[in-house]
Amino acid sequence: MGVTTDDTAGTDIHDIRRNPPVIVIVTGPPCTGKTAIARQVAEHYSLPWMGKDTFKEVLFDTLGWKDRAWSKRLSRASVEMLFRFVEAQLRAQRSCVVESNFKAEFDAARFLQLRERYAFEPVQIQCVADGQVLFERFKRRAEGDERHPGHCDHLNYAEFRATLLQGRLESLDIGGCTIEIDTTDFGTIDYAALYAEINQTFEEARAKSHRQKPSPRRSTGGICSFPATRCQTRTR
């Protein structure tokens, strides 16, 4: 995956941790590069991160694996553990990065409940891609040997086909900033633009903490014109 260099690495992470936490939520369909992006963002800001499949594969290795029904059962458990991870970070007033194919109809309410309890600022990174490209990636991954066999991806073509061909998931209606990244070509991802948007959210959180007015975003509603990165602001 290509990485564009930038000048935002000087962000004071210790200052970030003194302010209301920011939760970076990386979501999207399978094979959109969510894990790689989450790791990149977490490394850039020296933040803890966790993904659903990290928990799920530990459960596979501990409890074993067998079929798609078992895989789905462990997925539900893994999402629950992921929200427990988020809450643990929020209790410690720490920002963090989380990654999963979050479902708007189920997971938006969970994030809103946490936001009411801990008053964090969300940044949602919505990974999208050309549907046919995603479907081909999914098949290659299922037929390769890098993916944990417990996922049973080779049995999931029909189940995931419609979602993959759509190329996106519904965004979580939880307020904050939503950044859309087109990952059809991983090499075109503009990390500098992505970090600039995340930095803006950190600044807004800091301003709220100090009762200062934040500097305005480059775009107030609508879409930011970044190559392979589009930001839509929806602040509550």
Q: What is the pLDDT of residue 236?
A: 43
| pLDDT tens figures, 45-75 | 999 999 999 998 898 889 998 888 888 899 9
Q: What is the pLDDT of residue 6?
A: 45
Q: Length of the chain in residues, anyone?
A: 236
Domains of the chain in start order, with CATH, are: 13-233 (3.40.50.300)
Residues 6+ apart with CB under 8 A from 230: 179, 180, 181, 182, 223, 224
User: Which residue in the block uniquely carries the two structure tokens 């948007």?
Assistant: 197
The ranges of the chain with pLDDT < 70 are 1-18, 150, 152, 210-236
**Spatial CA neighbour of 20 closest among 214, 195, 177, 209:** 209
Counting Cα atoms < 13 Å in the Cβ hemisphere of 168 gives: 12
| pTM for this model (two decimals) | 0.81
Q: What is the pLDDT of residue 150?
A: 67
Q: What is the pLDDT of residue 223?
A: 32
What distance in Å separates the CA atoms of residue 217 and residue 214, rounded to the nearest whole number?
Answer: 9
Q: 25 has which bridge partners?
A: 98, 124
CB-based contact 107:34 (threshold 8 Å): no
User: Which residue in the block uniquely carries the two structure tokens 């029904």?
Assistant: 69
User: Which residue in the block uniquely carries the two structure tokens 């801990």?
Assistant: 118
